[in-house]
Amino acid sequence: MKILEGDLRVGDLRIALAASRFNESVVERLVAGATEALAAHGADPGALELVRVPGAFDLPPVVRHMALSRRFDAIVALGAVIRGDTPHFDFVAAECASGLARVAYETGVPVAFGVLTTDTEEQAFDRAGGAEGNRGADAARAAIELASLMRKLGA
């Protein structure tokens, strides 16, 4: 059986970050984690592009535009949606997740989901470089692996 899978060598892969500014103190840690992970696997930090959007709800249309530009082999979407006292969380989290998935399906450009959806700010910090690791770094590694795999598949 022939098995194909991506690897974690950036090489000449073009990977971009898209990050929301809302919940900035959490998101900046995700950006740092993603940037460090990309550099650890061979990316030139000076060559990375970071696109900022106001909030997580705004990520899908901007990431779609980035994907359609065909300038990137993968995109890492980063943000933090923290539950509050209203149903706003449910709408933002759901639309962000489904919108980013739709971008990947429609464009064929891998979109790594590094958007935290937590009940508390403490949980968000735990997942942004705290006790639970850094989901930004995890998403960056997923982006590298997916872009590598897509290239091997001839996409």
Sequence spans of domains, the chain:
32-152
152 Rama class: left (phi>0) / alpha (psi -120 to 50) / beta? alpha
Q: How far apart are CA 11 and CA 24, in angstroms?
A: 30
Q: Which amino acids are annotated catalytic?
A: 88
Q: How far apart are CA 52 and CA 66, in angstroms?
A: 12
User: pTM of the predicted model, to two decimals?
Assistant: 0.95
CATH classification code of 32-152:
3.40.50.960
Task: Tell the residue number behind the tokens 């464009």, with chain if given.
Answer: 107
The pLDDT assigned to 19 comes to 98
Question: Phi and psi (nearest 5°) for 115?
Answer: -100, 115
Per-residue pLDDT of the chain in tens (155 residues, 90 and over written 9): 999 999 999 999 999 999 999 999 999 999 999 999 999 999 998 889 999 999 999 999 999 999 999 999 999 999 999 998 888 899 999 999 999 999 999 999 999 999 999 999 999 999 999 999 999 999 999 999 999 999 999 86
Amino acid identity at 147: A
